[in-house]
Amino acid sequence: MEQKNELIVCAGLTKTYGSVKALDNLNLTLSGGRFVGLLGPNGSGKTTLIKLINGLIQPTAGSVLVDGQTPGVHTHSVVSYLPDRAYLNDWMRVSDLMDFFADFYEDFDRVKANDMLQSLHINALDRLKTMSKGTKEKVQLILTMSRKAKLFLLDEPIAGVDPAARDYILNTILSNYSEDAAVLLSTHLIADIERVLDEVIFLKNGVMTLHESVDTIREEHGKSVDMLFREVFAC
């Protein structure tokens, strides 16, 4: 696929844990201005790839570049990352978290964060320990999307929220990143996000089996991404 404004370049990217290849010789280029679905069942390598891009783990072989550089200080300033599990301290108030993000990230937009909190009826003075699991995940997403980042890495952002909130969350993601930024979103809930995707990546047992635009899939396969996913992964 032709790419411009390359934000992610993976070459022969491999990660092994003992004898298990979590990611196997991945070659991938992603550009800005695209909303990309990273799709695969549990254990397919989605989280491993996101952690490699974010510099949280090191590759066994191959390389990954983000905005032209190896993951490090510079890439952390242009990447906004939402992990697949809660990482915020329960005793903290939402307002404390916003202070923390504002101190740590120059591109954090407190006004945007407050607007999203109000839209979801979340009180900034509430402590996380008083919230449901779904509300905590919404707070994490709001903090992540309130940065003016070049790349958003979102690991299963809609898995823990109720179906009624998924559309709001997707619309929140769509309306809060600039046209030259990219979103890489991992999920197994394909039907819920298909409408927002520009491209999809299929991962199976650490191997990329497909990387195509959503339009190409519909034209060449004559079916939705969700239908193709169910065929490929027999689910």
Does some domain include residue 69? Answer: yes
Tokens of 94: 């939402």
Q: The domain that contains 184 carries what CATH number?
A: 3.40.50.300
Please state the rounded mean pLDDT for residues 49-56. Answer: 96
Local confidence band at 4 (pLDDT 50, 70, 90 cut-offs): low
Q: Mean pLDDT for the chain?
A: 90
What's the number of domains the chain is made of?
A: 1
| Residue 41 DSSP code | -
- 117 within 8 A of 155, measured Cβ to Cβ: no
Does some domain include residue 61? Answer: yes
Does some domain include residue 157? Answer: yes
Whole-structure pTM value: 0.91
The pLDDT score that the predictor gives to residue 28 is 97
Instruction: Give the ranges where the chain is alpha helix by DSSP (H).
Output: 46-53, 73-78, 94-104, 110-119, 133-145, 163-174, 190-193, 214-221, 225-233
Does some domain include residue 144? Answer: yes
Paired with 16 in beta bridges are: 21
Question: Which tens digits make up the pLDDT trace of 66-82?
Answer: 999 999 988 999 999 99
Checking 101-108 for CB contacts under 8 A at 24+ apart, the result is: 101/143, 101/146, 101/147, 105/77, 105/80, 105/147, 106/77, 107/77, 107/147, 107/148, 107/149, 108/146, 108/147
pLDDT of 3 higher than 60 = no
Does some domain include residue 1? Answer: no
Question: Which tens digits make up the pLDDT trace of 145-203?
Answer: 999 999 999 998 877 677 777 777 788 787 777 778 999 999 888 888 888 899 999 99
Question: Which tens digits make up the pLDDT trace of 94-138?
Answer: 999 999 999 999 999 999 999 989 988 999 999 999 998 888 888
* Structural domain containing residue 120: 6-233
Question: Which tens digits make up the pLDDT trace of 115-125?
Answer: 989 988 999 99
